[in-house]
C-alpha cells in the first residue's frame, strides 16, 4: 500500500508535469482531446486550473522524498532518475506560476530540511535512528533552483508569457483579490453569524449584496470563500465552523505529528498539510482527486483497532467489503446520471443517439443533477406572457443555484410581464452592479452566451 500510494502520486505528478510543460509552450495540440490547450504560458495538465496543478506537483514532491527515504541505498542510476524527476517536478511547479504552489514548495522544503537536520543530530548523538532524507543543504537548494527555473521558463517562451516574478509583483487583477473576496465574506458572516446563509447559498448571498458592501465587491460569481473555515462560517454559521475546524485541530494535536518518526506516516501528514494549506486559499476538497488523497491519508493516520476484537466480530470483517460495494454502486449511478444529464449541454451531433432530439424532456428525474436540469430548462425557455409566472418561479429558484446573467435576465423579464415593476427594477440594478458588461449587452438587445444548447 505504501509503495502504491507513493508511486501513484509520482506517476500522476510526472505525467501532469510533462503535459503542463507542453501546454506552457503551446505544444499540446497533438494530444487533443487527451488534454486541453490553454495557450502559451498556461500550465495545469488535466486539472481545472494552475493551483490544483501546483498542489498535485507538491504532493508528488512529497512522494519523491518518501521514495528517497525508502531506497536510501539505491544504485546510482536510480538515484539519478530520482534527481531528474525532482527537477521535472520543480520545473512544472515554476511553470504553473501558482503563488499557492510557491507556498507549498517553501513549506515542503523547509519541513524536509528540518527533518533531515533532526535525523543527523540524532545520528551524531548515537541514536540508532538512521538518516533517510537528503542533507538539509541539498533540500534547501531546491528553493534557488525553483526561482532560477521560474526566471528561465518565460525567457524561452518568448514575449507575452506571464512569469512567477510578474505575478508576485503585480498581484491579482482589479476586483479579483482574495483580500476583497474575504472582506465580502466577512460582511456576509456578520449578517448571519449563528446559522449562516445555508449550504450552497454563498453565490446567492453575494449577488443579493451587489452594491451593499462597505468597500470593493469581488467581481466574479462567488460560490466558495476560498478559505475553508470562512466558507463553513458563511454557509453553516460560526458555531458549526468552530466545531468542525476545532474538532479536526484537536485530532491533529492529539496525534502529535511532530513526534512521528515513521516515514510513511510523515508522508501522509505532509500530504494532508498540502491540502490544508491549499484549503486556506482555495477549495481543493471540492474536487475528487484531492478528496481521494485526503481520505487515504486519514485512513493511514487513524489509530488502528485491535485485530483480535475485529476477528471476533464477523460484521466488522465484512464492513470494508460492504462499504466498498456501496461506494462502487453510488459512483456507478453518479456516472450514469452524469452522462444522461450532460446530453442537454452538448451540441446535437455530439449527443448519444437516444438523446439527439427532445433532449430536455428525456433528462428529467435526476436526483444528483436536478438543478442542472432546471438551469437548462430555464435558459432554453423563451419568456412569454403565457409562461411568465412559471419562468419567474423557476428563475427565483435557480438564482440560488447559479446567479448568473442568463438567470437574472429571465427573472427581470418575467417580473416585468407579471407587472412586478419594483422587483424588476431592483433586480436590474443588482444586475448592472454584478455584471456590467452583460447588463450592457442586454440593454442593447444583444444575446448573452448560453452554455445549454
d(CA 363, CA 195): 35
Asked if 201 and 235 touch (Cβ cutoff 8 Å), the reply is: yes
Question: Please, are residues 135 and 116 in contact by the beta-carbon 8 Å criterion?
Answer: yes
pTM of the shown model: 0.89
Residue 237 CB neighbour total at 10 angstroms: 19
Residue 162 is placed in which grid cell? Answer: 506571464
CA 420 to the chain's CA centroid:
40
Q: How far apart are CA 428 and CA 434, in angstroms?
A: 10
State residue 452's pLDDT score.
40
The two most distant CA atoms of the chain are separated, in Å, by 87
Residue 281 and residue 390: Cα distance in Å, rounded?
Answer: 40
Positive or negative, the Cα torsion across 285, 172, 47, 4? negative
Question: Where are the domains positioned within the chain?
Answer: 2-171+260-301, 178-246, 369-443
pLDDT the model gives residue 451:
42
30, 32, 34, 38 alpha-carbon torsion, rounded to 10°? 100
DSSP line for 357-422: SSHHHHT---STTHHHHHHHHHHHS---TTTHHHHHHHHHHHHHH---HHHHHHHHHHHHHTT-HH
Mean pLDDT by groups of 10 residues along the chain of 453 residues? 89 94 90 84 88 96 90 75 93 93 95 89 69 86 94 81 75 81 95 94 94 89 94 96 95 89 91 96 93 92 65 70 89 93 91 89 86 92 93 95 94 94 94 92 80 39
Residue of 333, 354, 363 whose CA lies nearest to 452: 363
The rounded distance, in Å, linking the Cα atoms of 296 and 272 is 10
Amino acid at each position: 500500500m505504501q509503495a502504491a500510494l507513493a508511486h501513484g502520486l509520482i506517476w500522476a505528478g510526472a505525467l501532469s508535469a510533462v503535459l503542463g510543460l507542453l501546454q506552457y509552450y503551446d505544444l499540446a495540440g497533438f494530444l487533443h482531446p487527451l488534454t486541453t490547450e490553454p495557450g502559451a504560458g498556461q500550465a495545469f495538465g488535466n486539472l481545472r486550473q494552475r493551483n490544483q496543478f501546483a498542489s498535485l506537483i507538491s504532493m508528488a514532491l512529497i512522494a519523491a522524498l518518501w521514495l528517497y527515504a525508502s531506497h536510501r541505498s539505491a544504485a546510482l542510476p536510480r538515484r539519478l532518475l530520482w534527481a531528474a524527476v525532482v527537477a521535472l517536478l520543480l520545473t512544472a511547479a515554476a511553470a504553473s506560476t501558482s503563488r499557492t504552489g510557491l507556498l507549498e514548495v517553501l513549506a515542503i522544503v523547509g519541513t524536509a530540511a528540518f527533518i533531515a537536520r533532526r535525523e543527523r543530530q540524532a545520528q551524531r548523538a548515537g541514536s540508532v535512528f538512521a538518516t533517510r532524507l537528503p542533507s538539509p543543504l541539498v533540500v534547501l537548494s531546491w528553493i534557488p533552483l525553483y526561482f532560477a527555473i521560474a526566471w528561465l521558463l518565460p525567457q524561452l517562451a518568448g514575449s507575452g508569457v506571464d512569469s512567477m516574478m510578474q505575478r508576485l509583483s503585480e498581484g491579482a487583477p482589479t476586483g479579483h483579490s482574495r483580500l476583497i473576496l474575504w472582506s465580502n465574506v466577512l460582511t456576509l458572516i456578520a449578517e448571519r453569524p449563528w446559522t449562516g446563509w445555508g449550504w450552497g447559498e454563498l453565490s446567492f448571498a453575494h449577488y443579493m449584496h451587489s452594491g451593499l458592501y462597505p468597500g470593493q465587491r469581488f467581481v466574479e460569481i462567488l460560490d466558495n470563500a476560498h478559505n475553508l473555515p470562512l466558507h463553513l462560517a458563511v454557509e453553516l454559521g460560526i458555531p458549526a465552523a468552530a466545531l468542525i475546524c476545532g474538532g479536526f485541530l484537536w485530532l491533529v494535536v492529539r496525534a502529535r505529528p511532530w513526534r512521528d518518526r515513521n516515514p510513511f506516516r510523515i508522508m501522509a501528514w505532509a500530504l494532508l498539510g498540502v491540502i490544508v494549506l491549499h484549503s486556506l486559499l482555495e477549495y481543493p476538497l471540492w474536487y475528487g482527486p484531492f478528496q481521494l488523497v485526503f481520505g487515504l491519508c486519514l485512513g493511514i493516520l487513524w489509530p488502528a483497532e485491535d485485530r483480535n476484537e475485529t476477528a471476533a466480530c464477523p460484521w466488522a470483517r465484512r464492513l470494508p467489503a460492504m462499504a466498498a460495494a456501496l461506494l462502487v454502486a453510488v459512483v456507478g449511478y453518479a456516472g450514469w446520471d452524469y452522462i444522461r444529464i450532460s446530453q442537454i449541454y452538448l451540441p446535437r451531433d455530439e449527443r448519444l443517439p437516444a438523446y439527439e432530439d427532445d433532449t430536455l424532456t428525456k433528462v428529467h428525474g435526476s436526483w444528483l443533477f436536478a438543478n442542472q436540469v432546471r438551469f437548462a430548462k430555464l435558459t432554453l425557455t423563451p419568456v412569454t406572457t403565457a409562461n411568465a409566472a412559471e419562468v419567474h418561479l423557476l428563475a427565483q429558484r435557480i438564482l440560488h443555484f447559479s446567479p448568473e446573467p442568463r438567470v437574472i435576465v429571465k427573472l427581470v423579464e418575467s417580473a416585468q410581464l407579471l407587472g412586478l415593476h419594483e422587483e424588476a427594477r431592483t433586480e436590474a440594478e443588482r444586475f448592472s452592479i454584478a455584471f456590467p458588461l452583460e447588463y450592457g449587452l442586454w440593454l442593447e438587445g444583444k444575446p448573452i452566451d448560453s452554455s445549454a444548447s
